Chain A
Amino acid sequence: EVQLVESGGGLVQPGGSLRLSCAASGFTFSSYEMNWVRQAPGKGLEWVSYISSSGSTIYYADSVKGRFTISRDNAKNSLYLQMNSLRAEDTAVYYCARDKTGYSSGWYRYFDLWGRGTLVTVSS
């Protein structure tokens, strides 16, 4: 079955760290770019980070740049998000999402496969 399964969420104090994992199965993980997307309670979706299939190209949202690090291990079919200096506003469900690329008038990307998410709560 083609799926993504996130883990590693939990309760952490402000200023603390957490590492999220996303296990991929049912498809050739090493051929796909990947993303993290989060959703604060009762709020909309917020794109967090992107990593290319080889790991050579990485992007971050301004809200997490310098604090979060995306990485992947293609041998383990896994995506990671290292989160440091956590703040209350980082409280959210974190989803990993598979990236699909296409070209029409320009290059575009969308997210065709999502995990069920893992909840991160930053609170004292």
Chain B
Amino acid sequence: SYVLTQPPSVSVAPGQTARITCGGNNIGSKSVHWYQQKPGQAPVLVVYDDSDRPSGIPERFSGSNSGNTATLTISRVEAGDEADYYCQVWDSSSDHPGVFGTGTKVTVL
């Protein structure tokens, strides 16, 4: 089955840029989606189809995807961005197509 690998943690100072990677075999050929999850809350979609943002998500959240790595970038990081972030793909070639990344804890210093 398809595997998505994320770094366990990323630390960033307020106002700086956080980059969260999501590695997978030829992931650039797939559409990648990103979710933010704060403690005790349900996940919230922040980026879909590599780089599109749902309504209500700040422009500070952006995404890219190429080769074997997809990246979620959070610019001008705020304290409220501290959360867990998960990438996700749908592997249509599989009988169990839903795949989430391992998750990354973003800490705002």
Contact = CB atoms under 8 A, between A and B. Distances in A.
| Bind each other | yes
B96 A116 contact: no
B29 A110 contact: no
A25 B45 CA distance: 19
Interface residues of B, number: 31
Task: Pick from B42, B44, B50 the residue with the most CB of A within 10 Å.
Answer: B42
Contact of A106 (B29, B35, B37, B96): B29
B67 to A, nearest CB: 14
A112 B49 contact: no
Interface of B: 1, 29-31, 33, 35, 37, 41-45, 48-50, 54, 84, 86, 88-90, 92, 95-103
Bin the interface of chain A by size: 20 to 34
Nearest to B50: A104
Given A95-B42, A106-B30, A47 B92 contact: no
A80 to B, nearest CB: 18
